[in-house]
Structure 1
């Protein structure tokens, strides 16, 4: 059996899968990068919101989604000594009165004794109405990606990764067939195109679609970059909103929120 007969069915399937998955990802990325329609909030024009107009809750959502909003709320309350965060991962309420919707959603996630593991509080508060309202407001302003846009890009990335694995598997199978040196070179060249296509597509999508956050639209990402340059250094609340709890200097707080 000749090497050409062995390999003929494989490359078209691998190349076709690679082309289809890359096309899906690029289309999803293009939809995610498209400017939001002007809803009267100024998001579709050059007079949209500035980075210094973002609240920390809004910056946290754009940078890290609902989970980051809850972590910011927990840390803010802890710094005001209205809530205690232990390195063991438990949180204890000190002041049971919330001063804004996000604090009230966090307090509502605690049990009747005012104590709860941080992951339980975070999960419950991240699904609260306060976060949904925040997401809708940012989406209407053209700063946050819609659920459909995020799902589309994520699905496209998964499809390209699966195609990459398929191409590698087909190449490995083809190389396992005994051949001379010339045929091996042909095999490598045959599979190089779909492999370069998928890997290049993943690299471009990662740079173009997620230069800062998977939650922010291109307009929202630009605001985050500006805010990061101005206020994102150190371990302040702005730094936590932008980068998460990993920027905290206190290891016990990092452990509590990890």
Structure 2
């Protein structure tokens, strides 16, 4: 039974890490009741709840491309077609990020647009309405994810060591014993990594679930670049 103390260590570390992640996720998700009406979400807000500032940036780029104000090339470059100054704040942020040259690589645009004041206002408004997870809550969930990942790797390492310490006939018991911490930490890790759960509170997730994805831009906002044609996925670096 030399392996049993190793199993206890793995179970204890896994229990603490999973409890920390569950507590952080529950606190970040907010109260369970009082979801808002579907019509109260703009496309930009839906994109933020589903994928954060990066999804908002992708929505703005594709929207401008479809409106023929911007050309997204498969090579990953964005070229301004119409810089007349129209559009909303988000489109103006994209044009400002591209600069006077009228052309810029999409990877360079992403962090600039994602950090724009108009995107921060979208986040602040959603947090104030209880639909988005506050920044502190996201940091707690991220720390919990790291703890669970560490617990999984520790259980895997200890299980490997334990299996090497016992006779071949006893290895099945060792594998069965370490299956518990490995399964628990692995499931917590997989479930909590959902992008939607990272940005949207419980109320925000319910609101997103009520949106129809029939419109191509709504589908992009809620489901991401996977719904786009191959050329646009390549332009966004998501091929």
Q: TM-score, normalised by structure 2?
A: 0.89
Give, in whole Å, the separation in 1 of the partners of 2:11 and 2:188.
14
| Consecutive unaligned residues in structure 1, runs of 5 or more | 37-44
Give, in whole Å, the separation in 1 of the partners of 2:40 and 2:223.
19
SS of 2:22 mapped into structure 1: helix
Q: Residues 184-195 of structure 1: matches in 2 within 5 Å?
A: 184-195=171-182
Match of 1:164 in 2: 152
Match of 2:143 in 1: 155
Cα distance, 1:180 vs. partner? Answer: 5.5
Match of 2:233 in 1: 254
Match of 1:226 in 2: 210
Contact 2:49–2:196 (8 Å) recurs in 1: no
| Consecutive unaligned residues in structure 2, runs of 5 or more | none
Cα distance, 1:126 vs. partner? Answer: 0.5
Cα distance, 1:24 vs. partner? Answer: 0.7
Q: Residues 43-192 of structure 1: matches in 2 within 5 Å?
A: 46=34, 49-96=36-83, 97-179=85-167, 181=169, 183-192=170-179
Cα distance, 1:226 vs. partner? Answer: 0.4
1:237 is aligned, of 210, 213, 217, to 217
Match of 1:39 in 2: none
Which structure has more RCO (C-alpha within 8 Å, separation ≥ 6)? Answer: 2
C-alpha distance 87-173 of structure 1, shift in aligned 2 (>3 A):
same
- Superposed CA offset, 1:105-137 (max 9, x none): 111101321110011112211011110011000
Q: Highest CA radius of gyration, 1 or 2? A: 1
Cα distance, 1:239 vs. partner? Answer: 1.1
Match of 2:31 in 1: 35
Give, in whole Å, the separation in 2 of the partners of 1:76 and 1:184.
57
C-alpha distance 177-79 of structure 1, shift in aligned 2 (>3 A):
same
Q: TM-score, normalised by structure 1?
A: 0.83
SS of 1:176 mapped into structure 2: helix
Give, in whole Å, the separation in 1 of the partners of 2:98 and 2:218.
25
Cα distance, 1:8 vs. partner? Answer: 5.0
- Superposed CA offset, 1:183-208 (max 9, x none): 434433443433343234446x44xx
C-alpha distance 25-133 of structure 1, shift in aligned 2 (>3 A):
same
Larger CA deviation: 90-99 vs 100-109: 90-99
2:19 is aligned, of 23, 27, 36, to 23
Contact 1:90–1:115 (8 Å) recurs in 2: yes
Cα distance, 1:98 vs. partner? Answer: 4.1
